[in-house]
Amino acid sequence: LTFGSTAHGAGRLMSRAEAKGRWKGEDIQRELASRGIVLKAQSWRGVAEEAYGAYKDVDEVAKTSNAVGIGKLVARLVPVGVIKG
């Protein structure tokens, strides 16, 4: 019973502190720039704690939600902007 709700995101694999210890914001910025993605941030630490690898695979989370009946796969979205703060 989910009361009509499901996961709103993939969920973290590791803590923010662990992510900051594993990644550097500057490295993430360079990797994103190589893919044509512009990153502007007040803090490189903030970038590191949100590193892609700090989260579960969103496709697997969506498939699981669909399989157990608490979500329905309808579209694959591509973000055009993200604001964290």
Q: What is the DSSP letter of 55?
A: B
pLDDT per residue over 46-61, tens digit each?
999 999 999 999 999 9
Q: What is the pLDDT of residue 81?
A: 85
Catalytic choice (1, 3, 5, 8): 8
Is the dihedral angle over the CA atoms 79, 49, 52, 44 positive or is it negative? positive
pLDDT tens-place string over residues 26-46: 999 999 999 999 999 999 999
Q: Is the pTM of this model over 0.95?
A: no
Whether residue 50 lies in the annotated active site? no
Give the pLDDT confidence score for residue 85 in this predicted structure: 67
The residue among 70, 55, 72 whose CA lies nearest residue 15 is 55
**C-alpha–C-alpha distance, residues 22 and 25, integer Å:** 10
